[in-house]
């Protein structure tokens, strides 16, 4: 029963994280218009949240090690739900908004580390894969958050009211559910050879896959609403729901990701799903220019979401715990950091429709690199096991 309640606690954190953060993404076109930003200017502004997240992640890891993942995750849940509302208190200034986005990104990233660390604790205690389900719950929350944000944008609800009210509501619901989180435990076999930040080739290859996948995922989050509104003349509601469909498709893909990986293996599963995502979005962008523009583009987004769904949970499972995950996530989140400015810069130089082709291209690149990284890591692990046996 304690495992069931602990799983519910982690799911509550993942859902709260997804709902609150994605609810503001639907307001990006509105903010762009109010501040008179170009595509390049918006891309630079959208560097702020991932910059804050990456800066905060090492401190969150240190807090988890010192205070435990349960206490850290619960404390950061409170900070996250309350501080993200700062995005709405910016007074129409680019600089104050940038500062608020850095703070919001910091609590987003720190809470992300803590809830994933507690998820890993629950998974180890249960003795079976659970991370795919946890990430699926985030995608479900993200879909709900995008839909709520679209409704608030459509009916001109003030951003501070939206984020503040939603944050308090989520805190009141999620906080009691997190009480049964599990204490951390030392694992057998964690020797000195596993300590330290290891820039080994197999992990770097997996990091490149994570870089491509998170850049594509972040670009879809930050730019699809702008593309729908600006290029396909969508309403604020449809523009917000476009990302909601993408997130819902990721949710569906992550629900079955453990089954797919178990059936085909990590490398093949990522490669096949990446091809589905890249081809699906490419077809959606091409067909949207000539027929049923908004509908076909959103269908392409759904296929992209299905393709990207498997990547991050599977990569973390392949990399293992601790230092391996740190290498993969550090390289991967650099993609999330650079995604907005890459799309914005290309849109400024070439046009937004051309820049959007970066998303399927990087998804396909990740699919090509994944089997190489997984096989290299498996060979390395077999060598280490053989050396340990001979020793």
CATH code of the domain in which 89 resides: 1.20.1250.20
217 & 271 share domain = yes
Residues 254 and 367 in one domain: yes
Q: What is the mean pLDDT of residues 26-31?
A: 84
- pLDDT band of residue 322 (cuts 50, 70, 90) is very low
Rounded Cα gap, residues 169 and 174, in angstroms: 9
∠ Cα 22 159 235 (to 5°) = 70
Q: Are residues 222 and 92 in the same domain?
A: no
Domain of 7? 1-181
Confidence at residue 51, expressed as pLDDT on a 0 to 100 scale: 83
Model confidence at 321: pLDDT above 50: no
- Total domain count for the chain? 2
Cβ atoms of 355 and 343 closer than 8 Å: yes
Same domain, 26 and 59: yes
What is the C-alpha to C-alpha distance for residues 189 and 206, in angstroms, rounded to an integer? Answer: 23
Whole-number pLDDT of residue 98? 92
| 222 and 330 co-located in one domain | yes
> What mean pLDDT, rounded, does the chain reach?
82
* pLDDT bucket at 206, cuts 50 / 70 / 90: confident
User: Is the per-residue pLDDT at 192 higher than 60?
Assistant: no
Mean pLDDT, residues 248-258 = 85
- Given this model, what pLDDT does residue 171 score? 96
DSSP annotation string for 94-139: HHHHHHHHHHHHHHHHHHHHHHHHHHHHHHHHHTS--HHHHHHHHH
pLDDT in tens, 124-162: 788 777 878 888 888 788 888 988 988 898 888 988 999
> pLDDT, tens digit, for every residue of 224-240?
888 888 888 888 788 87
**CB atoms < 10 A from the CB of 186, how many?**
5
For residues 104 and 236, membership in a common domain is answered with no
Do 148 and 171 sit in the same domain of this protein? yes
Query: Whole-prediction pTM value?
Result: 0.75
Residue 12 has pLDDT above 90, yes or no: yes
What value does the mean pLDDT take over residues 73-92? 90
Res 339: pLDDT: 75
pLDDT at 18: 92
Q: Do 143 and 12 fall within a single domain?
A: yes
Task: Report whether 118 contacts 73 (CB < 8 A).
Answer: yes
DSSP string covering 294-308 = HHHHHHHHHHHHHHH
Cα(212)–Cα(335) distance, integer angstroms: 6
Q: Indicate whether 188 belongs to any domain.
A: no
Element (H, E) at 278: helix 266-288
Say yes or no: 11 and 73 in one domain: yes
Query: Do 106 and 217 fall within a single domain?
Result: no
Q: Is residue 93 part of a domain?
A: yes
Confidence class for position 175, pLDDT limits 50, 70, 90: very high
Residues 229 and 339 in one domain: yes
Residue 319 counted as domain residue? yes
Can you say whether residue 182 is alpha, beta or left, with left for phi > 0 and alpha for psi between -120 and 50 degrees?
A: beta
Residues 138 and 205 in one domain: no
């Amino acid at each position: 029963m304690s495992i069931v309640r602990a799983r519910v606690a982690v799911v509550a954190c993942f859902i709260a994280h997804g709902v609150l953060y994605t609810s503001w993404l639907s307001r990006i076109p509105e903010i762009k218009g109010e501040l008179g930003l170009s595509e390049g200017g918006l891309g630079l502004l959208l560097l702020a949240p991932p910059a804050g997240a990456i800066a905060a992640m090492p401190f969150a890891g240190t807090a988890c090690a010192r205070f435990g993942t349960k206490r850290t995750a619960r404390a950061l849940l409170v900070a996250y739900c309350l501080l993200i509302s700062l995005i709405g208190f910016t007074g129409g200034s680019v600089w104050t908004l940038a500062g608020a986005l850095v703070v919001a990104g910091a609590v987003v990233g720190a809470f992300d580390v803590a809830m994933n660390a507690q998820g890993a604790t629950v998974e180890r205690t249960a003795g079976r894969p659970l991370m795919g389900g946890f990430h699926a719950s985030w995608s479900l929350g993200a879909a709900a958050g995008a839909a709520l944000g679209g409704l608030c944008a459509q009916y001109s609800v003030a951003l501070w009211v939206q984020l503040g009210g939603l944050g308090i509501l989520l805190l009141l619901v999620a906080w009691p559910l997190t009480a049964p989180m599990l204490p951390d435990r030392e694992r057998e076999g964690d020797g000195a050879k596993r300590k330290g930040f290891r820039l080994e080739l197999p992990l770097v290859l997996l990091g490149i896959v994570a870089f491509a996948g998170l850049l594509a995922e972040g670009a879809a989050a930050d730019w699809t609403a702008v593309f729908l509104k600006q290029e396909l003349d969508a309403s604020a509601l449809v523009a917000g729901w476009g990302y909601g469909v993408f997130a819902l498709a990721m949710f569906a893909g992550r629900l079955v990701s453990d089954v797919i990986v178990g059936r085909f293996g990590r490398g093949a599963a990522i490669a096949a799903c990446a091809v589905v995502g890249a081809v699906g979005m490419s077809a959606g962008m091409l067909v949207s220019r000539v027929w049923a523009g908004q509908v076909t583009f959103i269908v392409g987004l759904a296929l992209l979401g299905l393709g990207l769904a498997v990547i991050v949970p599977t990569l973390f499972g392949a990399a293992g715990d601790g230092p391996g995950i740190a290498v993969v996530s550090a390289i991967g989140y650099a993609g999330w950091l650079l995604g907005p400015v890459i799309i914005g810069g290309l849109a400024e130089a070439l046009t937004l429709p051309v820049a959007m082709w970066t998303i399927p291209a990087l998804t396909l690149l990740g699919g090509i690199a994944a089997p190489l990284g997984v096989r290299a890591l498996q060979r390395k692990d077999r060598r280490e096991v053989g050396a340990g046996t001979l020793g």
